[in-house]
Amino acid sequence: MTLSDSRLQDIAQQVATPFYAYDAQTLRTTFSALKAHMPDGADIYFSLKSNPNHAIIGTLAPMGAGAEVCSMPELHIAMKAGANPRRTIFVGPAKSEADITAAMDFGIKAIVAESAEELQIINRIARNRGIVQPVALRINPNFSSSKARIMMTGRASQFGIEEDDIDLTLALLDTCPSVVMVGLHVYLGSRVLDEAAIHENTANILALAERVVQKLGRPLAFVDVGGGFGVKYHANERDLDVDVLGPGLHALISDFRARNRRTRVVIELGRYLVARAGVFVTAVRYVKSSKGQDFAICDGGSNVNAAAAGYGSAFRKNVPMARIGTLNEGGDEVVYNVTGPLCTPSDTIAEKVRLPRLAPGDLLRFDRAGAYGPSHSPVHFLSFGHPAEILVDAEQTTLVRPADSIADLLAKQTRLVLSQGAEGVEDQPVGKALANA
């Protein structure tokens, strides 16, 4: 992370806290370091679910990154940011017909079908449009990853087609002439921090792909081996060593490609690419003591940084954070519970953390915050709204999403009569109504 305290202080003079800042150079360096180890025929795709801000995919796409999207808004964000549709795949277990149609309109690389029913819907829409739509099958394999913090396969799941149903699905494809299977997709899990486990995961997926190719009787255009590469957040963790991870992947992919020269291998990554590029900044509003404990109450908490609060985790652990600015000589330290503005006791983003003595107005930085930040947080709880997002690229600082204003929040609230009612009721935004009151 190259965003200095002084740079963040400068941003805080121009943009109200809380905000996220992303360092473009860190994004590029992380991508380039992994890409340098990849053999010919291997591609890295960015998972927009980890950070859907257009500036992130807009930074990575010119470097050759593809896009993995899971919703129609993510698809539109990727396309508007300059992602190549021929290097874009659409994943997700509940795609609507509108989602499928939009993917066809953009001419993306493949729609990833996650059920037999979805295949039939894609086939019907494609037939009505007079096209043959490329699809990939997402498979829920019988194997899993023992090292994934978040498990996605090897058990009952809403994701993908069961490995045991591959034969039935391939037979179904024969009855769907308006789709063509061009790829295979497997995602075992997330936050893997063991290089050997990633190598094993990749080997297992590539072996499954070869079994499917044998059944299919022709080559695939690509195999998406997922990713799930983790980053260190806590003291008992370590970052992946790209100089160990990379050569192992190179060997596995090269060996696969020697037998499957027409098949490219896709690695889809979100957290690994963007987490270390992001910083979350919040300001202390109040400092108080309660029953022997000290609290720093901030203007941004779990409503905009659910990850720091441990939402979705069995146990909350502190993530990397610090006070911005140098400690005054001779200054003391205090053990704080750092909390946010919400009216709930779960709004704790750091617990019993030792910091320089804080005062109202002090800024706190939470590092490695580039992934699953505001998009994974309850930003509308208490109607605070979405925080600002900033891209720092060398000497240039760009606001890439402004914070929600009261007008933004009120503009979405309307009185739209959906059934017959009293005459003369006007559809009028609440914000406008208040302005006219």
- pTM greater than 0.75 (yes/no): yes
pLDDT at 2 exceeding the cut of 80: no
Query: pLDDT per residue over 193-216, tens digit each?
Result: 999 999 999 999 999 999 999 999
Q: What percent of the chain clears pLDDT 90, i.e. is strictly above it? A: 82
Provide CB contacts within 8 A for 211, sequence distance 6+: none
- Statement to judge: residues 108 and 227 lie in one domain: yes
- Statement to judge: residues 216 and 76 lie in one domain: yes
- Statement to judge: residues 85 and 177 lie in one domain: yes
Q: What's the chain's Rg over C-alpha atoms?
A: 24
Q: Could you give the CA distance from residue 349 to residue 319 in angstroms, rounded to a whole number? A: 8
- Statement to judge: residues 281 and 263 lie in one domain: no
Pairing mode of beta strands 19-23, 278-290: antiparallel
Mean pLDDT of 232-255: 95
pLDDT at 437 exceeding the cut of 50: no
Please tell me the predicted confidence (pLDDT) of residue 255: 97
pLDDT at 277 exceeding the cut of 50: yes
Final residue of a domain: which of 242, 269, 296?
A: 269
- Statement to judge: residues 223 and 368 lie in one domain: no
The token duo for 311 is: 């939402």
Instruction: Give the pLDDT band of residue 426 (cuts 50, 70, 90).
Output: low
pLDDT at 228 exceeding the cut of 80: yes
CATH number at residue 247: 3.20.20.10
Across the chain, mean pLDDT equals: 92
- Statement to judge: residues 205 and 281 lie in one domain: no
- Statement to judge: residues 426 and 346 lie in one domain: no
Q: Could you give the CA distance from residue 45 to residue 88 in angstroms, rounded to a whole number? A: 8
CA distance to 49, 243, 297, 303, 339, per residue, from 294 (Å): 36, 43, 10, 21, 11
3-state secondary structure of 87: helix
DSSP-assigned states of every residue in 257-326: HHH-TT-EEEEEESHHHHGGGEEEEEEEEEEEEETTEEEEEES-STTT-HHHHTTTSSS--PPSEEESSP
* Structural domain of 421: 412-437
Contact, 39 vs 62, CB < 8 A?
Answer: no
Mean pLDDT of 273-298: 97
- For the chain, how many structural domains are there in total? 3
Query: pLDDT per residue over 129-142, tens digit each?
Result: 999 999 999 999 88
Please name every residue paired with 348 in a beta bridge, in sequence order, or none if there are none: 339
Contact, 111 vs 134, CB < 8 A?
Answer: yes
- Statement to judge: residues 236 and 259 lie in one domain: yes
Please tell me the predicted confidence (pLDDT) of residue 188: 87
34, part of any domain? no
Query: pLDDT per residue over 350-397, tens digit each?
Result: 999 999 999 999 999 999 999 999 999 999 999 999 999 999 999 999
Final residue of a domain: which of 269, 297, 327?
A: 269
- Statement to judge: residues 226 and 329 lie in one domain: no
